[in-house]
A and B are shown apart, each in its own frame.
Chain A
Amino acid sequence: DTGVSQNPRHKITKRGQNVTFRCDPISEHNRLYWYRQTLGQGPEFLTYFQNEAQLEKSRLLSDRFSAERPKGSFSTLEIQRTEQGDSAMYLCASSFRGRDTDTQYFGPGTRLTVL
Protein backbone atom coordinates (compact mmCIF):
# COMPACT_ATOMS: atom_id res chain seq x y z
CA ASP A 1 0.00 0.00 0.00
CA THR A 2 1.46 3.35 -1.01
CA GLY A 3 -0.99 5.66 0.76
CA VAL A 4 -0.41 7.89 3.77
CA SER A 5 0.10 5.89 6.96
CA GLN A 6 -0.24 7.03 10.56
CA ASN A 7 0.78 5.40 13.81
CA PRO A 8 -0.58 4.66 16.26
CA ARG A 9 -4.19 4.46 15.14
CA HIS A 10 -5.45 4.94 18.67
CA LYS A 11 -3.85 6.44 21.74
CA ILE A 12 -5.31 6.70 25.22
CA THR A 13 -3.37 8.76 27.71
CA LYS A 14 -3.79 10.46 31.03
CA ARG A 15 -3.94 14.22 31.36
CA GLY A 16 -0.48 15.71 31.71
CA GLN A 17 1.33 13.00 29.76
CA ASN A 18 3.21 13.59 26.51
CA VAL A 19 2.23 11.82 23.30
CA THR A 20 3.86 11.54 19.88
CA PHE A 21 2.27 10.56 16.59
CA ARG A 22 3.97 9.59 13.38
CA CYS A 23 2.96 10.15 9.77
CA ASP A 24 4.52 8.56 6.70
CA PRO A 25 3.45 10.38 3.54
CA ILE A 26 3.14 9.06 0.02
CA SER A 27 6.77 8.60 -1.03
CA GLU A 28 7.05 11.15 -3.83
CA HIS A 29 5.09 13.85 -2.00
CA ASN A 30 7.04 16.85 -0.80
CA ARG A 31 4.29 18.53 1.25
CA LEU A 32 2.93 17.15 4.49
CA TYR A 33 0.04 18.57 6.50
CA TRP A 34 -1.42 17.99 9.96
CA TYR A 35 -5.08 18.57 10.75
CA ARG A 36 -7.22 17.97 13.81
CA GLN A 37 -10.85 16.88 13.73
CA THR A 38 -13.27 16.95 16.63
CA LEU A 39 -16.75 15.49 16.75
CA GLY A 40 -19.21 17.18 14.43
CA GLN A 41 -16.58 19.39 12.84
CA GLY A 42 -14.54 19.28 9.69
CA PRO A 43 -10.76 18.88 9.86
CA GLU A 44 -8.93 22.01 11.06
CA PHE A 45 -5.50 22.90 9.78
CA LEU A 46 -2.61 22.73 12.24
CA THR A 47 0.62 23.01 10.26
CA TYR A 48 2.36 21.98 7.06
CA PHE A 49 5.84 21.27 5.71
CA GLN A 50 7.50 21.48 2.37
CA ASN A 51 10.30 18.96 2.56
CA GLU A 52 11.79 19.59 6.01
CA ALA A 53 10.75 23.23 6.28
CA GLN A 54 7.70 24.08 8.39
CA LEU A 55 5.96 26.75 6.33
CA GLU A 56 2.87 27.63 8.33
CA LYS A 57 1.47 27.02 11.79
CA SER A 58 -2.12 27.64 12.86
CA ARG A 59 -2.89 29.57 16.01
CA LEU A 60 -4.52 26.29 17.12
CA LEU A 61 -1.00 24.93 17.50
CA SER A 62 -0.23 26.07 21.02
CA ASP A 63 3.25 25.94 22.52
CA ARG A 64 2.44 22.45 23.83
CA PHE A 65 2.37 21.19 20.25
CA SER A 66 5.43 20.65 18.12
CA ALA A 67 5.80 19.08 14.71
CA GLU A 68 8.90 18.01 12.87
CA ARG A 69 9.84 16.54 9.54
CA PRO A 70 13.59 16.10 10.03
CA LYS A 71 14.58 14.51 6.74
CA GLY A 72 11.72 15.64 4.60
CA SER A 73 10.10 12.22 4.73
CA PHE A 74 8.08 11.14 7.79
CA SER A 75 6.77 13.63 10.32
CA THR A 76 6.04 13.55 14.03
CA LEU A 77 3.51 15.56 16.01
CA GLU A 78 4.15 15.80 19.73
CA ILE A 79 1.72 17.09 22.33
CA GLN A 80 3.20 17.88 25.73
CA ARG A 81 1.22 18.00 28.97
CA THR A 82 -1.94 16.75 27.29
CA GLU A 83 -5.30 18.21 28.27
CA GLN A 84 -8.76 16.73 27.87
CA GLY A 85 -9.46 19.29 25.16
CA ASP A 86 -6.73 17.70 23.06
CA SER A 87 -8.93 14.63 22.55
CA ALA A 88 -9.55 14.49 18.80
CA MET A 89 -8.67 12.71 15.58
CA TYR A 90 -5.29 13.86 14.29
CA LEU A 91 -5.05 13.59 10.53
CA CYS A 92 -2.02 13.74 8.31
CA ALA A 93 -2.14 14.48 4.59
CA SER A 94 0.44 14.75 1.85
CA SER A 95 0.63 16.26 -1.61
CA PHE A 96 3.09 16.94 -4.39
CA ARG A 97 3.73 20.62 -4.90
CA GLY A 98 3.26 20.96 -8.62
CA ARG A 99 2.86 23.81 -11.01
CA ASP A 100 -0.85 24.33 -10.79
CA THR A 101 -3.00 22.51 -8.33
CA ASP A 102 -2.37 19.92 -5.67
CA THR A 103 -4.56 17.32 -4.09
CA GLN A 104 -4.04 16.45 -0.46
CA TYR A 105 -4.39 12.76 0.35
CA PHE A 106 -5.20 11.84 3.91
CA GLY A 107 -4.09 9.04 6.17
CA PRO A 108 -6.43 7.07 8.45
CA GLY A 109 -5.77 9.32 11.42
CA THR A 110 -4.74 8.83 15.03
CA ARG A 111 -7.57 8.95 17.55
CA LEU A 112 -6.35 10.53 20.80
CA THR A 113 -8.32 10.18 24.01
CA VAL A 114 -7.09 12.11 27.05
CA LEU A 115 -8.55 10.87 30.33
Chain B
Amino acid sequence: DQQVKQNSPSLSVQEGRISILNCDYTNSMFDYFLWYKKYPAEGPTFLISISSIKDKNEDGRFTVFLNKSAKHLSLHIVPSQPGDSAVYFCAASDGGGSEKLVFGKGMKLTVNP
Protein backbone atom coordinates (compact mmCIF):
# COMPACT_ATOMS: atom_id res chain seq x y z
CA ASP B 1 0.00 0.00 0.00
CA GLN B 2 1.60 3.23 -1.14
CA GLN B 3 1.39 5.82 1.57
CA VAL B 4 2.94 8.57 -0.56
CA LYS B 5 1.76 8.93 -4.13
CA GLN B 6 3.05 10.95 -7.02
CA ASN B 7 0.46 10.17 -9.62
CA SER B 8 2.02 11.93 -12.58
CA PRO B 9 5.21 10.25 -13.77
CA SER B 10 6.42 13.20 -15.80
CA LEU B 11 5.99 16.91 -16.49
CA SER B 12 7.37 19.08 -19.25
CA VAL B 13 7.45 22.89 -19.00
CA GLN B 14 9.05 25.79 -20.79
CA GLU B 15 11.93 27.68 -19.27
CA GLY B 16 10.71 30.64 -17.24
CA ARG B 17 7.27 29.17 -16.58
CA ILE B 18 5.98 27.64 -13.35
CA SER B 19 6.42 23.94 -12.58
CA ILE B 20 3.90 22.42 -10.18
CA LEU B 21 4.63 18.97 -8.79
CA ASN B 22 1.95 17.23 -6.76
CA CYS B 23 2.03 14.64 -4.01
CA ASP B 24 -0.72 12.91 -2.02
CA TYR B 25 -0.39 10.92 1.17
CA THR B 26 -2.65 8.60 3.10
CA ASN B 27 -1.08 8.35 6.55
CA SER B 28 -2.50 11.06 8.83
CA MET B 29 0.38 10.50 11.25
CA PHE B 30 2.88 12.08 8.85
CA ASP B 31 4.08 15.36 10.33
CA TYR B 32 7.03 16.32 8.15
CA PHE B 33 7.32 16.44 4.39
CA LEU B 34 10.31 16.87 2.13
CA TRP B 35 11.11 17.24 -1.54
CA TYR B 36 14.27 15.81 -3.03
CA LYS B 37 15.73 16.20 -6.50
CA LYS B 38 17.68 13.39 -8.10
CA TYR B 39 19.96 13.34 -11.11
CA PRO B 40 20.89 10.01 -12.74
CA ALA B 41 23.62 8.07 -10.92
CA GLU B 42 23.51 10.44 -7.94
CA GLY B 43 21.84 10.34 -4.55
CA PRO B 44 18.76 12.47 -3.79
CA THR B 45 19.50 16.12 -3.03
CA PHE B 46 17.37 17.85 -0.41
CA LEU B 47 15.35 20.77 -1.75
CA ILE B 48 12.81 21.99 0.75
CA SER B 49 10.70 20.73 3.62
CA ILE B 50 7.57 21.64 5.55
CA SER B 51 6.28 20.75 8.97
CA SER B 52 2.61 19.86 9.42
CA ILE B 53 2.13 22.97 11.59
CA LYS B 54 2.64 25.14 8.52
CA ASP B 55 0.84 25.37 5.20
CA LYS B 56 3.57 27.05 3.17
CA ASN B 57 7.33 27.22 3.09
CA GLU B 58 9.37 29.20 0.62
CA ASP B 59 13.04 29.07 -0.33
CA GLY B 60 14.09 31.12 -3.30
CA ARG B 61 12.44 29.75 -6.42
CA PHE B 62 10.93 26.81 -4.52
CA THR B 63 7.70 26.91 -2.53
CA VAL B 64 5.99 23.96 -0.91
CA PHE B 65 2.29 24.08 -0.02
CA LEU B 66 0.64 21.68 2.41
CA ASN B 67 -3.10 21.01 2.57
CA LYS B 68 -3.57 18.73 5.55
CA SER B 69 -7.30 18.28 5.14
CA ALA B 70 -6.78 17.02 1.60
CA LYS B 71 -3.56 15.17 2.52
CA HIS B 72 -1.92 16.91 -0.42
CA LEU B 73 1.26 18.86 -0.95
CA SER B 74 2.73 20.55 -3.96
CA LEU B 75 6.07 21.97 -4.99
CA HIS B 76 6.12 25.13 -7.09
CA ILE B 77 9.23 26.12 -9.00
CA VAL B 78 9.21 29.64 -10.38
CA PRO B 79 10.79 30.43 -12.74
CA SER B 80 11.72 26.99 -14.03
CA GLN B 81 15.24 26.59 -15.41
CA PRO B 82 16.74 23.86 -17.64
CA GLY B 83 18.99 22.84 -14.72
CA ASP B 84 15.85 21.92 -12.78
CA SER B 85 15.35 18.95 -15.11
CA ALA B 86 15.58 15.90 -12.84
CA VAL B 87 13.44 13.38 -11.01
CA TYR B 88 11.66 14.86 -7.98
CA PHE B 89 10.67 12.76 -4.99
CA CYS B 90 8.15 13.63 -2.34
CA ALA B 91 8.87 12.08 1.07
CA ALA B 92 7.07 12.01 4.40
CA SER B 93 7.90 11.13 7.98
CA ASP B 94 5.93 10.67 11.18
CA GLY B 95 8.83 11.60 13.43
CA GLY B 96 9.74 15.09 12.32
CA GLY B 97 12.16 13.69 9.79
CA SER B 98 14.21 11.77 12.33
CA GLU B 99 12.48 8.52 11.62
CA LYS B 100 12.29 6.65 8.34
CA LEU B 101 11.19 8.55 5.27
CA VAL B 102 8.47 7.16 3.04
CA PHE B 103 8.99 8.17 -0.57
CA GLY B 104 6.75 8.48 -3.59
CA LYS B 105 7.80 6.91 -6.88
CA GLY B 106 9.09 10.17 -8.26
CA MET B 107 8.22 12.49 -11.11
CA LYS B 108 10.49 13.40 -14.00
CA LEU B 109 10.55 17.13 -14.69
CA THR B 110 11.86 18.37 -18.03
CA VAL B 111 12.38 22.08 -18.49
CA ASN B 112 12.78 22.99 -22.14
CA PRO B 113 14.91 25.98 -23.14
Instruction: Give the B-binding residues of A (Cβ under 8 A).
Output: 4, 6, 31, 33, 35, 40-45, 48, 56, 58, 91, 93, 95, 97, 100-109, 111
Contacts and interface: CB of A to CB of B under 8 A. Distances in A.
6 A-B pairs with least C-beta separation:
A42-B103, A106-B43, A45-B100, A102-B97, A101-B96, A102-B98
A42 B101 CA distance: 10
Contacts of A33: 100-101
A107 B91 contact: no
Interface residues of B, number: 25
A102 to B, nearest CB: 4
Given A42-B89, A42-B105, A43-B101, A102 B42 contact: no
A35 to B, nearest CB: 8
B65 interface: no
A97 B98 CA distance: 6
Given A43-B89, A91-B43, A48 B100 contact: yes
B1 to A, nearest CB: 13
A40 B36 CA distance: 15
Contacts of A104: 34, 46, 97, 101
